[in-house]
Structure 1
């Protein structure tokens, strides 16, 4: 069996968790599976790297760099000594050399007072580049042949949009040619989250970047399965902090996961799913602290179940921006102008609703982007493209997700009837043409209650719907 395993930051954050990861890999290696492992930075490291890099642009002194160097050195070398004592001398030298490289680069940022997007990507990639040698040494300590490859060496080729790069199809053959010979006799440990452009410039892959790395590699190698190791038992029916009765979903489709991710659920990012979806490779989300638990299988959804709705997700920090004016009616290009300006200012629109009269358009965006959106659209108001623009930040977005809704009459009726009985007013509704989700906004204080009401309505706390 050909397996790609990705270990998240919480799954490799200390000696105890690294040993568990080694046990997991050894169990499959002993079965003579062909394996490749993708690793994230240790929990909290990337945030520290970003904070220090940004601080160097304005800081009066570079003391933070010394603090960061101490934090990284002590954390990684202490764990290394515990999990791979036989390989400590050679591996610690690699880690120290990389930390020194990082230190010098941060000092350069401090002296130049400039942090470019390229520099930021280079700096933030160090979390993975420090952790991968440690994990590989732990494998070798256990008797598993292993070597380290960063994302560039593994062949991950990306676009040049730093901080949010996308894998290029041309990289697939490179990955295959570089990794296929390796996995025949060794377990490569690949740095997640990073790749490089055709010119060899380091890029990072954005949110859930290490998951994305794993599915890129898995698709290129035509893996049998991709396993994502995290600190939860799988994908949940909703956030258990809001609904304690939430349970793990045993099986879910690619498209359902993409919808859940888009609407705020802390699952694999939709971009991370695409490579696996294109090749039809199952993705398993499993708990490294509870490896015997089956977790969640993400696949094409060929095996149907009786459940119409799979999960409820919720975003609380959103705002509804409403654009109104009779002058928009029958005027071609208004929407194009609106969305072009928002795109130029990097404002993501989560939901859209337009009245049949064309006299108003409501957009749901992140709450922290309201001021920017108002400023971006003000030129259109000045040119009388519309009459007024208002923002309501006292809202939250809820999405009901399930591929079983497609073609199934009555789901929307059940949803809004249940909310009505609970006295929850729905302020805006959208449904995609795929019919996999129904999303809407309510008052912010009603959001958690709406999730609870719908979780109960569709009986998601039980194994059978």
Structure 2
């Protein structure tokens, strides 16, 4: 689910500019480095500092390149700002509700071939889709012949290593799209655009096909081969090259990660992530219709919300840009003038208490009771060791003097695993009582401003009480960045609505202090 919105709201930072550095971007002072002697001092008196050339990395999602008309819009966006020098593209998504994503069609082709058959109808639909795009973009016939020949070569390739074959074929969606966009910008728009692929740039990834990750040397390779390139560089997302030269893809949505890696390598001022919605919302709009848009949010805050269901970016896309303190700007290709949402390293949240609320369902809880548990050294370690033996990860572990509960994602449990775990806890830990409860929900309220305001926990608890929601677990970390509540699955959505209403909705007018404002009770 996506927590983004098409609602127009004001924002403190509009980082859209044509030819000037962004207001929301990091300021790069001076040149990229004066020459220095071995003792670290300049060997000559440097001239006046010259500002570094503004640089943005723009990643365009599948919905943004689904048709020729949308690709033309993407080209307009790229050419509107000279700072957009590096562009990462996904494979075309759905052109309409009844359409299929190119990546899904490629996966179908791979499955057909691996089953011993022909690629069949999915391949024909792919060929037709790209042919139509190229014709509507008025590209020469040679372009479509070239990209379709590459596709046919991969389709006819070696299927003996099923996972490698599937990844090579999946990656063709982004590969073909990048070549087409580069040709269109260069040949039709007469822009100085060039295609550069992961193999040329040295994006080296692990051999975990379908779930690869960049290897340490990839960052240096990309910096060497991309930084300082003239013109507009078009780069395919979603995949890299293994040390053995094979294509390996990231997990789905991995073009976000490609964009982040490129942004880190070229030391971008901003990493723009363009999709078909206006920004990040304070809550899931399917739970809270008309939820407000978030103007600015920190990496820490988005991480907490993503942990409980916010699907904004690929889960690995934050770290590369965070290492260099590069802001992420989420933008809408269908609403170009709207500034979107900005994810930043830090922000001043003096007035705002919460930034958002999220919820995730389907947890289970193992409850263990034993008299004098608190005096037994190593009890917790041995309890978690039992879960480790079943390759289970836990989420939370609230405890009392003689009791402890362990919450985990219940989708991890297979067969009679619960019964096996209970028997081992009785046998190995000498527990007095053990049971397991299923279908629990976790609700999290997040905000950097919590630590600056008294009574936040009371307001949250009161909001849930007014909605007659029983709290089974409550937890807050030392950072005071978030407060988490455990409730029954059926209370998950009502809990989100109750908290949202208390801090952002009509219900806040009944509080002495709202989310960043003060109201008088009438």
Cα distance, 1:379 vs. partner?
9.6
CA shift at 1:394, angstroms? 2.7
Tell me which of 133, 154, 158 is aligned to 1:102: 154
Instruction: Give the gaps of 5 or more residues in structure 2.
Output: 1-53, 94-100, 509-514, 518-522
8 Å CA contact 2:58, 2:84 repeated in 1: no
Tell me if the contact between 1:175 and 1:217 (Cα under 8 Å) persists in the aligned partners. yes
* Deviation for aligned residue 1:309: 0.3
1:246 aligns with 2:298: no
Secondary structure, aligned partner of 1:41: coil
Maintained 8 Å contact 2:279/2:340? yes
Give the Å deviation of 1:225. Answer: 0.8
The 5 A counterparts of 1:250-399 are 250-316=295-361, 318-322=362-366, 324=368, 326=370, 329=373, 330=376, 332=378, 333-341=381-389, 344=391, 349=394, 351-357=395-401, 359-365=403-409, 367-371=410-414, 374=417, 378=421, 381=424, 384-385=427-428, 391-399=436-444
Unaligned runs of at least 5 residues, structure 1: none
| Cα pair distance change 1:382/1:438, threshold 3 Å | closer
Relative distance call for 1:19 and 1:309 in structure 2 (3 A) is same
* Secondary structure of 2:472's aligned partner: strand
Kept after mapping to 1: 8 A contact 2:469/2:487 = yes
| 1:63-462 paired onto structure 2 within 5 Å | 63=118, 65-83=119-137, 85=138, 87-105=139-157, 109=159, 115-116=162-163, 118-140=164-186, 141-182=188-229, 184=230, 186-316=231-361, 318-322=362-366, 324=368, 326=370, 329=373, 330=376, 332=378, 333-341=381-389, 344=391, 349=394, 351-357=395-401, 359-365=403-409, 367-371=410-414, 374=417, 378=421, 381=424, 384-385=427-428, 391-406=436-451, 408-459=453-504
Q: Taking structure 1 as reference, are residues 201 and 459 closer, same or farther at Cα in structure 2, changes over 3 Å only? A: same
Shift of 1:221: 0.8
Larger CA deviation: 247-256 vs 206-215: 206-215
Stretch deviating more after TM superposition (426-435 or 409-418): 426-435
Inter-CA distance 434–93: structure 2 relative to 1 (3 Å threshold): farther
C-alpha deviation, 1:378, in angstroms: 4.1
| Shift of residue 239, structure 1, vs aligned partner | 1.4
| Post-superposition CA distance 1:120-149 (Å, at most 9, x none) | 433322221222112222222212222222
RMSD (Å) for aligned C-alpha atoms: 2.9
Name the CA distance, whole Å, in 1 between partners of 2:108 and 2:489: 30
Distance 1:322 1:255 in 2: 29
How far apart in 2 are the matches of 1:397 and 1:303?
A: 28
Q: Tell me, what secondary structure is at the counterpart of 1:271?
A: coil
Preserved CA contact (<8 Å) 1:353 1:430: no
Displacement, 1:5?
0.1
Identify if the C-alpha distance between structure 1 residues 373 and 415 changes in structure 2 by more than 3 Å, giving closer, same or farther.
farther
- Give, in angstroms, the shift of residue 18 of structure 1: 1.0
Tell me how far apart the structure 1 counterparts of residues 342 and 263 of structure 2 sit (CA, whole Å): 15
Tell me the distance in 2 between the aligned counterparts of 1:433 and 1:101.
Answer: 56
How far residue 119 of structure 1 moved from its aligned partner, in angstroms, is: 3.7
CA distance in 2, matches of 1:437, 1:412: 10
Q: Deviation at 1:277? A: 1.2
Distance 2:85 2:481 in 1: 34
1:35-61 CA-partner distances (Å, limit 9, x unpaired) = 10011112222233334544655x5x6
CA drift at 1:455: 0.6
Q: From the superposition, tell whether residues 421 and 379 of structure 1 become closer, same or farther in structure 2 (CA, over 3 Å).
A: closer
TM-score calculated relative to the size of structure 1:
0.86
Deviation at 1:374, TM superposition (A): 2.4
Note the C-alpha offset of 1:73.
0.6
Equivalent position of 1:46 in the other structure: 103
Deviation at 1:447, TM superposition (A): 1.5
Provide the rounded CA distance (Å) in 2 between the counterparts of 1:380 and 1:51. Answer: 44
- Is this contact kept in 1: 2:281–2:292, CA < 8 A? yes
Distance 1:24 1:91, change over 3 A: same
Supply the distance in 2 between the matched residues of 1:40 and 1:338 (Cα, whole angstroms): 42
Structure 2 residue aligned with 1:62: 117
Q: Which moved more, 1:367-376 or 1:241-250?
A: 367-376
1:7 to 52, 56, 60: 60
Aligned partners of 1:390 and 1:39: how far apart in 2?
50
Which one has the bigger helix percentage?
Answer: 1
Distance 2:403 2:113 in 1: 48
1:81 and 1:296, CA in 2 relative to 1: closer, same or farther beyond 3 A? same
Corresponding position of 2:32: none
